Amino acid sequence: MTCEPPLILVADDEEDVREIIVFRLERAGYRVICAADGDEALAQAFENDPDLALLDVMMPGRTGWEVTRVLKDDARTASIPVIILTARSRDADLARGFAAGADDYIRKPFSPEELGARVKAMLMRR
Amino acid sequence: MVAFTGPGLAVAGAAVAGVLLMVARLVSVLVMDRRLLVERRKVAEMRARLLADERYARQLADEARTALAHQNERLEELDRMKDEFVAMVSHEFRSPLTAIRNYLYALLEEEVGTLDEPQRRFLNIAQRNTDRLTRLVEDLLLFARIQDGKMRLTVDKCDIGEVLAECVESAGPAAKYAGVRLQRGGDETASAVVDRGRIGQVLDNLISNAIKFTPAGGQVHVDLHGSDDAIVIEVSDTGPGIAADEVGNLFTPFFRTRYATEKVVPGTGLGLAISKAIVESHGGAISARRRDPRGTAFRVVLPVIPAAAEHNVHQTAGATS
């Protein structure tokens, strides 16, 4: 349709982290929707069909991994690229994210530059 | 008493003798039987005692086995708890650090308003300390993983010369700030199969240590030498050197030299312990020596192909042929 800027879903239960991510993405010209937990993230994804989902792993209710799996298993949302935000760093944890179907991950504490670059790369890949 | 004579007498005598013999045999059999009975009873008793002993021993063994199984379960449970704890702690530290780092960036980039000089200076200090805290958290978490034997290497063939160049470049600003001349010598390139990120971490650590401990006007020299089977990297400085009685403790976790403590040089005492673990997991060696007349030299020797990781190499990269 028109060249509306991409819509990004940001799910993180920590409001402070969520706010600065939203600030950064909106500043870069994207449209942003938010969720504070896994279930809300799923509802938002099904309702708004975002162009990209940034999902924190450790959220109350469904974890980022579980949300990813549900999104990737459903034909309506399977094509939404998912970037996992994780404060965990063990290889096993990263493997779990990819096994769930995630397309990329960003380790916390990330820099604003890294966030911007990964988001941009993922949107271009689409 | 009647006396018998003649052949009849002999026959009777033989008969009597025969009877007597039979009686004697009977008696001896009876006695034997009695003895046997006693023996048999003793054997039975002994057998019963042995059986009881065996039962008891089995019971003890069973109890010990159950206790061990319980203990094992408990240890596994503790291990899981520790893993979960480390994961939780890393989350609890890294999330706030993410927030601080990103808000500071927005402020320093003047994305929410212009800054005057004192504001900028203070925010820069906050940022520097955030970086320090981030490094500390990462060091502590990595150290915990090393202690658990859970550090994994992802090895690949790479040019150590290139890794070294990156480390020297990124240390440039710190060297300049400290007034220390940072030079590189030896071979330009030397390839080896290593975990690039981890070896970079070791070199970063040695170079930043050297800069930290070298007074303004001094110099830090980084040297690389490759051969067919090993690579030698040496980082030397013109700092105060390490006291003879402290050289042996340098790689001990949390150890800090008297100089570092007195001069309040920032650090956790984990950098060298982590470096040692990384180098050794590559099958290499790290050592330190005092230089004449002053300064310290650290030497890292890495095998070109880490013996322990050989199968890993083919898995991740197939880099060797």
Point out which residues pair with B12 in neighbouring strands.
Answer: none
The Cα–Cα gap between A30 and A22 comes to 9
pLDDT class of B317 with cuts at 50, 70, 90:
very low
Tokens encoding A72: 């990737």
Residue B150 token pair: 């859970």
Q: Show the CA angle centred on residue B318, arms to residues B316 and B321, nearest 5°.
A: 155
Distance CA B151, CA A92 (A): 11
Is there a contact between B141 and A93 if contact means CB atoms under 8 Å apart?
no
**Which residue is it, tokens 């009777």?**
B12
B101·A109 Cβ contact <8 A: yes
pLDDT in tens, A79-93: 999 999 988 767 677
Take residue A24 and report the two structure tokens written for it. Answer: 């950064």
- Which residues have CB under 8 Å from B318's CB, separation 6+? none
Q: Is the pTM of this model over 0.80?
A: no
CB atoms B91 and A58 under 8 Å: yes
Q: Is A93 on the interface with B (CB under 8 A)?
A: yes
Query: Does A87 contact B94 at a Cβ distance shorter than 8 Å?
Result: yes
Chain A, nearest residue to B96 by Cα: A17
d(CA B285, CA B251): 12
Count of CB pairs separated by less than 8 Å, A with B: 58
Candidates A12, A26, A57, A88: best to mutate against B (most CBs of B within 10 A) is A88
The per-residue pLDDT for A21 is 96
pLDDT reported for residue B215: 92
The interface pTM score, or ipTM, of the predicted complex is 0.87
Which residues of chain B lie closer than 8 angstroms to A14, CB-CB?
Answer: 95, 99
Contact B299, B232 (CB under 8 A): yes
pLDDT digits (tens, 9 = 90+) for B157-209: 999 999 999 999 989 999 999 999 999 999 999 999 999 999 999 999 999 99
User: Do residues B303 and B282 touch, judged by C-beta distance below 8 A?
Assistant: yes
Q: What is the 3-state secondary structure (H, E, C) of B232-265?
A: EEEEEECCCCCCHHHHHHCCCCCCCCHHHHHCCC
CA gap B189, B161 in Å, rounded: 4
* A77, A48 Cβ separation under 8 angstroms: no
Is A111 within 8 Å of B105 when comparing Cβ atoms?
Answer: yes
Nearest Cβ partner of A20 from B91, B97, B106? B106
Q: Which residue of B has its CA nearest to A12?
A: B95
What pLDDT score does A2 carry?
60
